Amino acid sequence: MTLEVRISRRLPGFVLDVDFEVASGITVLFGPSGAGKTSVVNGVAGLSRPDEGRIVSNGRVLLDTKRGIQVAPHRRRIGYVFQEPRLFPHLSVRGNLRYGQRFAGRRGRPGDLDAITEVLGIGPLLDRRPGALSGGEKSRVALGRALLSSPDLILADEPLAALDAARKAEILPLFERLRDDLGVPVLYVSHSAEEVARLATTVVALSRGRVIAQGPALEILGNPSVTPVGPRAAGAVLEARVAAHHADGLTELDAGGLPLFVPGHAGKVGAQTRLRIAAHDVMLSLDPPERISALNVLPGRVETVTEAEGPGVLVRLETPAGPVLSYVTRRSASALGLKEGLGCHAIVKTVTL
Amino acid sequence: MTWLGPEEWEAVALSLKVSLWATVVSLPLGILTAYALARWRFPGRQILNGLVHLPLILPPVVTGYLLLLTFGTQGPLGGPLQEIGIVFAFRWTGAALAAGIMAFPLMVRAIRLSIEAVDPRLEAAATTLGAARPMVFLTVTLPLILPGVLAGAVLAFAKAMGEFGATITFVSNIPGETRTLSTAIYAFLQIPGGDSSALRLVVVSIVIAMGALMLAEWLSVRVARRVSGR
């Protein structure tokens, strides 16, 4: 399954001109508000018409302005999870879930409703009205409804933006399951670096209507010159394995042979996990730090020093665990004489899984 | 019916028939017009809006006279229609046409308001789930506006029951054919000793009008509740 998107469209203030591909897994369209992300997904869904472009889903041409092809939105087989749930108020939860299923006809499998209700944990809600659901419940029903229309691809436009932190924590794992178990490719729009770190297989970074970088998530997030939402929100992502659980409540991870400690019980021993180290949570020290409270210190070597907006620079370190980004002031950078090849230590204040 | 005399009852029954037909036939057109005015942007939209509301503002006698000119047996539409056996002038069908046109603005207003209360984003969501345009209308828009449509129909029915000016101008006041409730009251008032009949019909009018208004009010409360999904 692939989706090729090439869209250009004149928008108020700038021109949207993007060209990217979506393969299996979750592709995150990552960029700040106003970068044109929603215009891209609306174009893919057929809800808005680009001035020019070509969209091909799994070999099916959905749009080709040169050849005058424009498939109607209801024939595109593209599920859309909107920022707000958009449930039909006059139908029960069951009615909402079945809505897309009946148009899917033969492509839908009869057992799907039970399986998806089970995965999303919405079985007890089936006979309720949307007005009687909480925000998190509505989001889950909206996701289920899109899945049950048996789409070739799911578009998700910041589906967590309107939810509080607890609800986000409840919905995020569902997208992970979607990626890992259900095999439906997802084009996910987000301006949150945490969501990208957690979900993305591939990242397409968007800024002012243009794709500034695209590639595997770890590569893009570790690249100090790609900071679509600003250097403060930058942060590298490492892959690690859960090594042990300690009696004092810490979990030990093994990242490329280096031990890292995170609070809490994080997954089974042996499980692979991703962890994100925000650039502003990393201090640099030229000498091995002694007698400090931070648990995680990664030895490394400066790979690049990149000028960032504001008073800071982004330093990329190569460590045995993988690349780590650090956001330090320009003054500190010159005081330490940070330059390519210099050995130093990254002192990590917080690691998020 | 003992309370109402045969002549009076005839007028009430005819009015019910005329109003029912006027409402039922104009309803699909009313929904289409309301939808077009609420959702489509097309040249001439303001002109359509004006035309729909014209019967509300014009003196009814003018509307009746225009109908007579158009649908009279010599009229540009009346003539050809007569050839295929459809006659409006001086028939109860003409009374229904007049009543339908006079009630149309009220019907369209009520339906249009309920369409404007439907979030277009719900309709967009339905298309991404595989529903074609007409299907979106039938499965999302129409169920959500149904109470508003019923309210519009009830209002139109009540208005049609009371129609006088356009009716008497277009189809006259023929007992048993075009003598509706209102024209009957008028006729009874013209003859000595007719006021008791007129009064009874007045009571019938008030009851029907009040009943219709209350029903319309109750239905419009339901629109709001339905659109909020509780």
Give per-residue pLDDT as tens, A20-34: 998 888 999 999 888
Q: Which residues contact A230 (CB under 8 A, 6 or more apart)?
A: A32, A309
- Look at phi and psi of residue A102 and say left if phi exceeds 0, alpha if psi is from -120 to 50, else beta: alpha
Alpha carbons A267 and A251: distance in angstroms, whole number = 9
Q: Are residues A254 and A299 in the same domain?
A: yes
Does A299 share its domain with A314? Answer: yes
Please report the pLDDT score of residue A301 as a whole number. 94
Under DSSP, the state recorded for A223 is: -
Mean pLDDT of A167-187: 85
Q: Which amino acid is at A167?
A: R
| Chain A nearest C-alpha distance from B25 (Å) | 27
Do A171 and A83 lie in a common domain?
yes
Question: Are residues A204 and A151 part of one domain?
Answer: yes
Helices of type H across chain B: 6-39, 45-57, 60-71, 78-83, 92-116, 120-128, 133-136, 142-162, 165-171, 181-190, 195-228
Q: How far is A32 from chain B (nearest CA, A)?
A: 23
B13's tokens = 């029954």
Per-residue confidence at A230, pLDDT binned at 50, 70, 90? confident
Q: What CATH number corresponds to the domain at position B152?
A: 1.10.3720.10
Out of A232, A247, A266, a domain closes at A232
- Same domain for A70 and A134? yes
Boundaries of domain holding B81: 6-228
* CB of A77 less than 8 A from some CB of B: yes
Write the CA distances from A185 to A84, A191, B172, integer angstroms: 21, 19, 71
Contact state of B229 with A129 under an 8 Å Cβ cutoff: yes
Beta bridge partners of A278: A235
SS3 labels along A51-64: CEEEEEECCEEEEE
Q: How far is CA A301 from its chain centroid?
A: 28
A335: helix, strand or coil? helix
Which domain does A255 fall in, by range? 235-352
Structure tokens at B229: 């999904």
Q: Under an 8 A CB cutoff, do B144 and A90 touch?
A: yes
- For residue A64, CA distances in Å to A10, A57, A60, A69 come to 17, 12, 11, 5
The ipTM estimated for the assembled molecules is: 0.85
Q: Is residue B1 part of a domain?
A: no
Instruction: Tell me, yes or no, whether B218 lies in a domain.
Output: yes
**A99 at B interface, C-beta within 8 A:** yes
CATH number, position A271: 2.40.50.100
Of A232, A267, A290, at which residue does a domain stop?
Answer: A232
A100 contacts B122? CB cut-off 8 A: no
In this structure, the answer to whether residues A244 and A321 fall within a common structural domain is: yes
pLDDT at B2: 61
| Closest Cα in chain B to A44 | B128
Residue A141, Cα to own-chain centre: how many angstroms?
Answer: 20
> Could you tell me if residue A267 is left (phi over 0), alpha (psi between -120 and 50 degrees) or otherwise beta?
left
Within 10 A of A49 (CB to CB), how many other CB atoms are there? 14
Token pair 């009830």 in the structure block, residue: B154
Question: If pLDDT is split at 50, 70 and 90, which confidence band does B22 have?
Answer: very high
Any B CB within 8 A of A198 CB: no
Considering the domain architecture, whether residues A179 and A68 belong to the same structural domain is answered as yes
Tokens representing residue B211 in the block: 């009943």
Kindly identify which residue of chain A lies nearest to residue B121, measuring between CA atoms.
Answer: A86
Please tell me the distance in Å from B108's CA to the nearest CA on chain A.
23
- Spatial distance between the Cα atoms of A172 and A286, rounded to a whole number of angstroms: 38
Which of A211, A232, A253 delimits the end of a domain?
A232
- Asked if A78's CB is within 8 angstroms of B128's CB, the reply is yes
> Do A72 and A164 share a structural domain?
yes
- Select from A38, A48, A99 the residue whose CB has the most chain B CBs within 10 Å, as the one to mutate to test that interface: A99
The answer to whether residues A258 and A301 belong to one domain is: yes
CB A49, CB A43: distance < 8 Å: yes
Per-residue pLDDT band for A52 (boundaries 50, 70, 90) equals: very high
What's the rounded mean pLDDT across residues B116-143?
Answer: 94
Contacts of B195 (CB under 8 A, 6+ apart): B188, B189
Inspect the interface and report whether the beta carbons of A149 and B143 lie closer than 8 Å. no
Average pLDDT over residues A94-100: 93
Are A90 and A208 members of one domain?
Answer: yes
Q: For residue range B197-223, list pLDDT tens digits in order.
A: 999 999 999 998 898 888 888 887 877
| A173 and A244 co-located in one domain | no
